[in-house]
Amino acid sequence: MQNPLPRVAAIHDLSGYGRCSLTVIIPILSTMGFEVCPLPTAVLSTHTGIEGFKIFDLTEQLPGFINHWKAQNLRFEAIYSGFLGSVEQADIVSGFIRDFAGPETLVVVDPVMADFGQLYASMPPAMIGEMRKLCAQAKVITPNITEAAFMLGREVPQSLSESEVKEWLLALADMGPTMPVITSLPLASKMDRSAVAAYNGEDKRFWLAGRPLLPTQYHGTGDIFSSVLTGSLLQGDSLPIALDRACHFVATAMQITFGYSGLDHHEILLERSLNALTAPVTYASFELLA
Ligand code: PXL
């Protein structure tokens, strides 16, 4: 019998504290109706933004885990990768995509490695070229503006016009993915809003979505965004609706968290927010980037 729950192979780290990667991806995609099969790239005490974090890299274990999955003949409706524990893991993930993805598999690569103009604490510069290669195998990629700039060998921009955003998306599409998305865009016309933009190479249309900015930052919002985007596309939504749902959920989860005072490490209160994922889509505030 066919599995009634579409399955997602989630290739990310497990950070014990600090909501990000698998600790947000699993609850979000489960709530959206998918069976998540985690393939952990590393186990960390906390995400790399908290000083003194400990990391255990699982590069040596991954081939054995993958071979066991192959022996079980596992099939996935989506493959979604993110934070890698070592540069060598890029080749392993690349082989995983080659072996497990069929023509119908949704392959999403989030090239998690940097933000605010800087590589994360555990990331060697060689990761940039490896992520670039991995993105070539994906249908959807979700870099933030820093990761997009690093992969394109450009300066991280202070602001971009709408026509520059389109050019950046086309440059990312030239790397191979059909649907490049850029998050945390410093869009000159919308500096008071979070902005994300996407290009769909299937119909050659560009899309823009976003929400008003709050005067705060939370860790893991990129992982939350990409998980909801992945779940929404798997549910059959169009690219702009998926973008809009992902922006809406990130903004809602941030607002829910922001209302509390005295939270220690700026972590999203995800469990207070998950219900919003099961609500029907009653809004649509995306724009066509003409
Ligand atoms: O949210 C991205 C992310 C994922 N995993 C780890 C991280 C970060 C960002 O800092 O440190 C371990």
Q: What is the CATH number of the domain that holds 60?
A: 3.40.1190.20
User: Does 158 fall in a domain?
Assistant: yes
Per the CB < 8 A criterion, the answer to whether 168 and 160 are in contact is yes
**220 CA to centre of ligand 1 in angstroms:** 7
**83 CA to centre of ligand 1 in angstroms:** 6
Q: What is the pLDDT of residue 134?
A: 98
User: Does 172 fall in a domain?
Assistant: yes
User: Does 133 fall in a domain?
Assistant: yes
Q: What is the pLDDT of residue 110?
A: 98
Q: What is the pLDDT of residue 188?
A: 93
User: What is the full per-residue pLDDT of the chain (290 aa) written as tens digits?
Assistant: 567 899 999 999 999 999 999 999 999 999 999 999 999 999 999 999 999 999 999 999 999 999 999 999 999 999 999 999 999 999 999 999 999 999 999 999 999 999 999 999 989 999 999 999 999 999 999 999 999 999 999 999 999 999 999 999 999 999 999 999 999 999 998 888 999 999 999 999 999 999 999 888 899 999 999 999 999 999 999 999 999 999 999 999 999 999 888 777 678 999 999 999 998 887 778 999 98
**225 CA to centre of ligand 1 in angstroms:** 13
User: Does 219 fall in a domain?
Assistant: yes
Q: What is the pLDDT of residue 263?
A: 78
47 CB near ligand 1 (under 6 Å): yes
**15 CA to centre of ligand 1 in angstroms:** 8
57 CB near ligand 1 (under 6 Å): no
User: Does 2 fall in a domain?
Assistant: no
**46 CA to centre of ligand 1 in angstroms:** 9
- For ligand 1, mutation pick of 55, 112, 184 (most atoms within 8 Å of CB): 112
Ligand 1 atom index nearest CA of 222: 1
17 CB near ligand 1 (under 6 Å): no
Ligand 1 atom index nearest CA of 55: 12
31 CB near ligand 1 (under 6 Å): no
220 CB near ligand 1 (under 6 Å): yes
What is the DSSP code string of 21-64? THHHHHHHHHHTT-EEEE--SEEEEE-TTSTT--EEE-TTTHHH
**229 CA to centre of ligand 1 in angstroms:** 18
Q: How far apart are CA 48 and CA 279, in angstroms?
A: 33
Q: What is the pLDDT of residue 267?
A: 86
209 CB near ligand 1 (under 6 Å): no
Q: What is the pLDDT of residue 38?
A: 98
157's tokens: 């921009």
User: Does 119 fall in a domain?
Assistant: yes
| Residue 117 domain boundaries | 7-289
Length reported for the chain: 290
Judged by phi (left if over 0) then psi (alpha if -120 to 50, else beta), residue 32 lies in alpha
DSSP character at residue 157:
P
Looking at the 3D structure of the chain, how many domains does it have? 1
User: Does 1 fall in a domain?
Assistant: no
User: Does 253 fall in a domain?
Assistant: yes
Which protein residue has the closest C-alpha to ligand 1 atom 12?
47
Query: Which residues is 42 bridged to in the sheet?
Result: 57
